[in-house]
Amino acid sequence: MTLHEKIVKLRNEKGLSSVQLAKMTGLSRGYLWQLESGNKTNPSLDILQKLARALGVSVAEFGRREGAPLKTERAPKALQTFFEQRGKELGVLQSDVDAMKEFHFRRKQPTSPEDYELLFLFLKKLMK
């Protein structure tokens, strides 16, 4: 899926019009139209961050190929188990796995799949 297809798909999933998304991001309607039509294909990181924030995803989502498997091989075993058991159902993204495998609180990492699920749900709620 191309960048412009992802933007349109995510905007539609959120139930936003292009005018609403333009206002939320501070982009002009014309520039957003160029992005969504594929006429602009290489937006700056700042533009991607604005779009990601408005659409409730990470910037990494714009670079993720549809259907590409998530990489969990270097993640703690409890995180791998959480992802295998609940990842698809909860909509866990590669950027979520990457963030959670680096997460430490008081120099400790979560120790069970349930801990990772709670962490994921907390971070998801926090980012809304």
Q: Are residues 25 and 59 in the same domain?
A: yes
Residue 85 lies in a domain: yes
71 pLDDT higher than 80? no
Q: Are residues 7 and 56 in the same domain?
A: yes
Residue 28 lies in a domain: yes
Residue 108: how many other CB atoms lie within 10 Å: 8
CATH number of residue 24's parent domain: 1.10.260.40
Q: Are residues 57 and 85 in the same domain?
A: no
Least confident segment among 71-75, 79-83, 101-105, 112-116: 71-75
pLDDT digits (tens, 9 = 90+) for 49-70: 899 889 988 777 776 555 555 6
Higher pLDDT residue, 77 or 101? 77
Is the C-alpha dihedral spanning 102, 94, 128, 5 positive or negative? positive
121 pLDDT higher than 60? yes
Residue 19 lies in a domain: yes
Residue 71 lies in a domain: no
Q: Are residues 12 and 48 in the same domain?
A: yes
Domain span at residue 31 reads: 3-63
Q: How many domains does the chain have?
A: 2
Q: Are residues 58 and 81 in the same domain?
A: no
Q: Which residues does 50 contact at the CB level (< 8 Å), separation at least 6?
A: 25, 26, 27
Q: Which two tokens stand for residue 84?
A: 């295998």
Pick from 21, 39, 63: which residue ends a domain?
63
